[in-house]
Structure formats: structure tokens, C-alpha cells
């Protein structure tokens, strides 16, 4: 599946006002954590991913999506951008060492072939700590489009401004930037 095969859809205003206000407060709090030099990258990623999950829940994306347990078409041949913090969080949970991706911090060209290394028996073995790119990916038209690997409508990180902001905070890790080490990479590059 190529990036051009996905048609992003927008769900920006469907969060009830009270819930939206509470989520906006949490986003502001997350921004303060982002500026905290002492917070561990994995701990920040965990806070960011939890907020993202709550935004996704408020948008009722699981109910609107054709994605169901056991469906894993998007886990094959689809590159996944992962921040340093997300990689550290996954490494902590999966008890794996991480590598430093050999890429420039401006290179967002990712390639991927084959199934995700964390796909086990058709299920995500790191589901609880899965990256934001996976967490916020939903097919919203027909599962047959996924099966046939044809162009279809999807909800992604880019479909929601708050998720985009969370993603930017995770990808642009100032401490890593200062060292010149990669701040992000394709999921497979970290392990």
C-alpha cells in the first residue's frame, strides 16, 4: 500500500463540548511536560499516547471504523514513523534494546516491506504501547478495500489537529536534537 492510496478524512468537531474542554486542558498540561527537561522520553510518550487514546475515544473512531480485532492488513508493508520516546517505551515493554536509526532528522521518507515485527498470530504484541501512527489509524469505508489493497478512506494522525500536535511534540525531542541523534525513525529501524 502506498501513501497515495490513503484518503484522509477529517473528524475535528465531533467531540462533545465538555469532553473537548477537558482534553484541551490535558493537551496544555502535556505541552508543559514537553518543556520539562527532566522528563524521560518514554514517560512523556506514555502520557502523550494516553491522551491520544482519549481523543480517539472521544471521536468515537472505533465505532466509525471498519477495523476489528484480528484485522491486521495495515500491519503489512506499511511504514510506521516512531519517535525516540515511543521506541524507548516499546523497548521497555518488549524488553528489547533499541538501535539508533541512521537517518537525518529531516528525512521523513520511510520504506517498509513485510509484516510488522510485533505482529504475532495476527495480533499486535505491543498493543498497549503501540505507536501513535498505529493507534490513530482507522479505515472508515470498507474492510474489503483493505483486503484488496486499494485506495480507501482512512483516519490518521493528520486527520486531527490535537493528534498532529501530540505527534509533533513526540517527534521533535529537543534533548535528542542537541546530540545529533535521530529523533524518529521507521519502527523497524529502532529494533
Asked if residues 131 and 78 have their Cβ atoms less than 8 Å apart, the reply is no
Q: Between 3 and 170, where is the model more confident?
A: 170
Q: What's the pLDDT at 162?
A: 87
Express each pLDDT in 21-65 by its tens digit. Answer: 888 888 888 888 877 767 888 999 999 999 999 999 998 888 888
The mean pLDDT of 15-23, rounded to a whole number, is 81
The mean pLDDT of 123-143, rounded to a whole number, is 92
If pLDDT is split at 50, 70 and 90, which confidence band does 175 have?
low
The mean pLDDT of 72-84, rounded to a whole number, is 89
Q: What's the pLDDT at 131?
A: 97
Q: What's the pLDDT at 106?
A: 63
Neighbours of 21 (CB within 10 A): 10
**Any idea where the domains of the chain sit in the sequence?**
3-190
Say how far apart CA 129 and CA 97 lie, in whole Å.
16
Q: State the cell numbers at 170.
A: 513526540
What is the full DSSP assignment across 30-77?
A: HHHHHH-TTS-HHHHHHHHHHHHHHHHHHTTHHHH----TT--GGGBS
Q: Between 92 and 146, where is the model more confident?
A: 92
Say how far apart CA 97 and CA 30 lie, in whole Å.
27
HSE (CB half, 13 Å, CA atoms) of 81?
23
Q: Between 179 and 73, where is the model more confident?
A: 73
The mean pLDDT of 169-184, rounded to a whole number, is 74
Q: What's the pLDDT at 146?
A: 84
For residues 17, 33, 99, 167, the Cα torsion angle rounded to the nearest 10 degrees is 30
Q: What's the pLDDT at 101?
A: 81
Q: State the cell numbers at 94.
A: 518488549
If pLDDT is split at 50, 70 and 90, which confidence band does 10 have?
very low
Q: Is the pTM of this model over 0.85?
A: no
If pLDDT is split at 50, 70 and 90, which confidence band does 118 have?
very high
If pLDDT is split at 50, 70 and 90, which confidence band does 108 have?
low
Amino acid at each position: 500500500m502506498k501513501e497515495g492510496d490513503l484518503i484522509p478524512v477529517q473528524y475535528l468537531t465531533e467531540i462533545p463540548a465538555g469532553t473537548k474542554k477537558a482534553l484541551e486542558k490535558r493537551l496544555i498540561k502535556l505541552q508543559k511536560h514537553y518543556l520539562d527537561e527532566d522528563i524521560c522520553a518514554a514517560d512523556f510518550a506514555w502520557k502523550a499516547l494516553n491522551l491520544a487514546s482519549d481523543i480517539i475515544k472521544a471521536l468515537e473512531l472505533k465505532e466509525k471504523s471498519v477495523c476489528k480485532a484480528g484485522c491486521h492488513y495495515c500491519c503489512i508493508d506499511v511504514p510506521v514513523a516512531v519517535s525516540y520516546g515511543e521506541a524507548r517505551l516499546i523497548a521497555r515493554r518488549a524488553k528489547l534494546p533499541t538501535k539508533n536509526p541512521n537517518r537525518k532528522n529531516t528525512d521523513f521518507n520511510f520504506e517498509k516491506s513485510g509484516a510488522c515485527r510485533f505482529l504475532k498470530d495476527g495480533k499486535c504484541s505491543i498493543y498497549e504501547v503501540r505507536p501513535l501512527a498505529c493507534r490513530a489509524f482507522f479505515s472508515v469505508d470498507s474492510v474489503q478495500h483493505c483486503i484488496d489493497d486499494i485506495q480507501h478512506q482512512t483516519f490518521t494522525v493528520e486527520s486531527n489537529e490535537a493528534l498532529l500536535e501530540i505527534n509533533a511534540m513526540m517527534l521533535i525531542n529537543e534533548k535528542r536534537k542537541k546530540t545529533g541523534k535521530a529523533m524518529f525513525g521507521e519502527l523497524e529501524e529502532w529494533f
